Amino acid sequence: DGGITQSPKYLFRKEGQNVTLSCEQNLNHDAMYWYRQDPGQGLRLIYYSQIVNDFQKGDIAEGYSVSREKKESFPLTVTSAQKNPTAFYLCASSIGGLGAYEQYFGPGTRLTVT
Amino acid sequence: KQEVTQIPAALSVPEGENLVLNCSFTDSAIYNLQWFRQDPGKGLTSLLLIQSSQREQTSGRLNASLDKSSGRSTLYIAASQPGDSATYLCAVNNYGQNFVFGPGTRLSVLP
């Protein structure tokens, strides 16, 4: 089955710790995205990557970092510099980038920082 | 800057009713528009993608229309079922830009 996997489903961390969220896809898509979802708000773009070894900041990149060393993988690190990290994080992919193609989403990771 | 709104924020209907969900956007020069469904605590499931050259797309009981000049899209759900209960989000993008998402409409279909 082709799709996008995110792990873990739930993640708990203490304030001040960095944490890495995993995103893997086997759809052979070039573009991958990380979004953050907060209650009552639309999804906000954190980072996106149109091709391996390249990525761009989205609207709310501060306090986050990413890497794209493999086509299938796009991990997101939430650093201690992110002031309000508790949220639902969604990873997506598409055949190509910049919104020209249908996006497919993973199941999400809910991060709670206390 | 593109802004997307969805009204109403929540909607409750009896089973079997036909219903319409609305999506409005401020910049009408869009490239395409995508409708999604999200179940509580889950990721988004793509329902329909409408490209700027199209006026509507259909999938089963779902029909999405696009009126770029007025900055609106509607998602029509025929003969609603309790299993249709979810949050429905629309997202639009302008050429060369990433998608901008609306806040969603939470739909409850009562048996």
pLDDT level of residue A96 (50, 70, 90 thresholds): confident
Looking up tokens 């949050």 gives B87
Whether residue A45 lies within 8 A of chain B, CB to CB, comes out as yes
Task: Measure CB to CB from residue A42 to each of B42, B49, B102 and give the nearest one.
Answer: B102
State the virtual CA torsion across A39, A43, A44, A47 in degrees, nearest 10: 130
Q: With contact defined as beta carbons under 8 Å apart, do A65 and A77 qualify?
A: yes
pLDDT of residue A1: 60
pLDDT of residue A40: 74
* Mutation for A interface: B44, B45, B50, most A CBs within 10 A: B44
- Mean pLDDT calculated for residue range B4-31: 95
pLDDT of residue B108: 98
Total count of residues recorded for chain B:
111
Task: Retrieve residue B66's tokens.
Answer: 């696009």
- Mean pLDDT calculated for residue range B21-40: 94
Q: Please state, in angstroms and rounded to a whole number, the distance separating the CA atoms of residues B40 and A109.
A: 13
- Mean pLDDT calculated for residue range A96-104: 80
pLDDT level of residue A105 (50, 70, 90 thresholds): very high
- Mean pLDDT calculated for residue range A58-65: 95
Residue A100 has pLDDT above 80, yes or no: no
- Chain B CB contacts of A44 under 8 Å are 101
Whether residue A95 lies within 8 A of chain B, CB to CB, comes out as no
pLDDT level of residue A41 (50, 70, 90 thresholds): confident
pLDDT level of residue A99 (50, 70, 90 thresholds): low
Residue B29 has pLDDT above 70, yes or no: yes
Mean pLDDT of chain B: 94
Task: Retrieve residue A25's tokens.
Answer: 């896809």
Whether residue B43 lies within 8 A of chain A, CB to CB, comes out as yes
- Mean pLDDT calculated for residue range B34-39: 96
pLDDT > 90 in chain B, percent: 86
**Helix, strand, or coil (residue B65):** strand
- Mean pLDDT calculated for residue range A1-5: 83
